[in-house]
A and B are shown apart, each in its own frame.
Chain A
Amino acid sequence: MSASTFQTLEVALADELYPKVDLALRRGRHIGRDDGPMYEYLVDAQALLEPFYQRFGCELIQQSDGYFYLLPRPSNDALGRRQLSPGEMLVGQTLALLYLDPATLQHGGVVGRDALLQRLSALVGADVLVRTLHPRRTGRGKKYDERIAAESVRTKIGEAVRRLGELGFVDVLDDTRLRLRPALMRFAEPVRGLGDRSAALERLVRVGEVVLDDDEQDSEEDLSADEEPSS
């Protein structure tokens, strides 16, 4: 490793990039090579910033795919923790699949939203997708209006893409195109090894990378076509 530009933490924090990088990390953003100076700053100041963020109960993680992020420890909630929503998880995994697809290379990692929707729908099926994204309104075999559900799914996916963009998993180029970023490989973390997926998940839960419970308080739109009033 080459010598750091920063000799002390004070010098690292005095750098003009620090506020921008710090705010981005605390907002859950994944900072990768594509972020240029911010990534280079983190590489340079990594040794000083790791113990600094540990005092806030967080780990500054650097992945071999070339990105940094801040991971709040399970035992310490000084900064709080947020788990991704079901929509974000499904969209994130699908985008990770597209990232691995050689066909995406032809356009330099840029994919259309249509391709995302098609791939997602083909992977989990339209019905499962609707029921996963709207568990309350469609639970226990409730009927739903297909047209309203499809529109709502598109809205949910659009919202998930926007949030994943804020977190640095993708760059939202315009209304129709996304550029995939290496941080998407976080979604593939449970299956990266050749071992048992359950064991990998357990390890990730232990280190606080993932949680297994969905405690999202989701506001649902009414998808029902002929839903009976609940008693």
Chain B
Amino acid sequence: MTTSPTSTDPSRVIASLARDQVNLELKTVDLCFLAGLYLKADKAALTSFEEDVLIDMFEQVCDVVEPGAENPRKRATHAIQRLREQRMLARVDAAGLVRAGDYALTTLAAALVQYFLADEALTRESLTLLTGTLSAQLAEVLAAAKKATDAESWRSKVSGPLRVTVSELVSGIERRQRGLDAQQEEVQAEIATLLSADWLSALESCQLLLDTTTGTLNELNAILLRDTNQFQALLQDIQARAEAADNDEAAETVQRVIEHVDRIAAWGSVRQQAWSEYYQYVHRYLRDVVRLDPDRALSQRLRDQTATWPASPFFLVVAPAPAMRLLRALEVRVERPPVQRPLTERETEPEWTPPENVHADIEILVVQALDDGAATLAEVSERVLAKLPESLHYAATGRIADAALRLGRVHSEHERPWAPVLSRLEVEDWSVDGRDTS
């Protein structure tokens, strides 16, 4: 623990605590040690302890908590170090290495010990005392607010006492309310334990516990209702004066105290309601279950019945009327058109195209070329291709050579020269010597 977060923004506080990796790790012996120191300080009015006193106290605690533990002095040194690291003990002298130190309990340690030691449940006496003091304190603050003329007097005579004294008193009531909550839980657990152990014999004790707690709650709630109304009236008066004096700080402080007082007033009614439900439930249980089954035989018989139910079942009958049907409002029936699309003719009629007989045409054209005296394959090809569409030229070149070979008398050199045909083709040339008539 290195820093204490001062922001009230929960996210920042949590982030800050997480960043500092705050944690507490206390063993029973540590807590007992702290409690021993707290009580000793309280009894002897000590503000700090010398190191030897700490070690003596730890040894005493060790004898009770862990009798027979070896080397208690060394353990004391470790415990003191552990508690210092966790800010439970603070060294309060400035002597350093010069001499053994003086130590004091921190507020954190005091708060922890107070939680375990103090019996701070709300009682009629403590609540009356607290509300009386609070009422007097608020009256003083109101008187100061009436006289306050400048910002300084508002701060020192109104905001300050409200923030410290009044808030402390209200928190004191709230703390005792939490104490009473814990007491109520204990009463509930005690009633359950008493009945489990003694059943019918516990009836009177349970009734007494119920009635005592109910009485306490009723009394406390009445006091809270009466006194919180008075607090609210005083606080609203102070707030009105703060607003009239344009003192925002004081007005905000009063508002926070008003909200705090609202909270303690709400506690009373909420707890009374919750307790009332619990009271009725337990009362019914005592009347319908405990009194009617003094030997506590019903539970056992029901347990046996349930355990053997699969072998010899029976079934309860209940009324089964279905939920009433609610008719829908009348509406014009909507005819939903079937899904469709316009019919289209997907088969197209065949087109009439002129018949193609390129092969026959080529042969005729080759014969014509030969007859016209073409002397080479290149010449024959040039004459034939000139009469055919350009897209067929490449394919037709081979067929022209084939036709010329079949229909003419051709001669080929061993190394046939390449001869151009029109603008884009070349053929390996032959010489052609007229048509073969044989």
Contacts and interface: CB of A to CB of B under 8 A. Distances in A.
A106 B192 contact: yes
A108 interface: yes
A108 B319 contact: no
A173 interface: no
B319 A79 contact: yes
B341 interface: no
Interface in B60-119: none
B394 interface: no
B293 to A, nearest CB: 8
Interface string B369-389: 000000000000000000000
Contacts of A190: 305, 314
A68 to B, nearest CB: 12
Given A26-B319, A71-B319, A105 B285 contact: yes
B302 A100 contact: yes
Interface in A54-103: 58, 64-66, 69-72, 79-86, 89-90, 92-94, 96-97, 99-103
Interface string B180-196: 00000000110110011
Given A71-B317, A82-B319, A93 B305 contact: yes
Contacts, number: 159
A158 interface: no
Contacts of B307: 123-124
Nearest to A215: B315
B310 A25 contact: no
B320 A28 contact: yes
A208 B314 CA distance: 12
A137 to B, nearest CB: 16
A123 B303 CA distance: 7
Contacts of B191: 102, 105-106
A99 B288 CA distance: 11
A182 B317 contact: no
A210 B319 contact: no
B343 interface: no
Interface stretch (B23-31, B36-44, B157-165, B275-283): B275-283
A80 B321 contact: yes
Interface in B264-295: 277-278, 281-282, 284-285, 288-289, 293
A100 B298 contact: yes
Interface in B296-311: 297-299, 301-307, 309-310
B313 interface: yes
Interface residues of A, number: 66
Contacts of B314: 89, 190, 201, 204-205, 210-212
A27 interface: yes
A31 to B, nearest CB: 12
A58 B319 contact: yes
27 contacts: A26-B319, A26-B321, A27-B319, A27-B322, A27-B323, A82-B317, A82-B320, A84-B315, A89-B314, A90-B309, A100-B299, A103-B196, A105-B191, A105-B281, A105-B282, A105-B285, A106-B188, A107-B188, A108-B188, A167-B318, A186-B316, A187-B302, A188-B298, A197-B301, A201-B314, A208-B317, A212-B315
Interface of B: 188-189, 191-192, 195-196, 199, 277-278, 281-282, 284-285, 288-289, 293, 297-299, 301-307, 309-310, 313-324
Interface of A: 23, 25-28, 33, 58, 64-66, 69-72, 79-86, 89-90, 92-94, 96-97, 99-109, 123-124, 128, 131-132, 167, 182, 185-188, 190-192, 194, 197, 201, 204-205, 208-214
Q: Considering the complex of A and B, which 7 residue pairs feature the smallest CB-CB distances, nearest first?
A: A82-B320, A28-B318, A102-B195, A26-B321, A191-B301, A83-B315, A106-B192
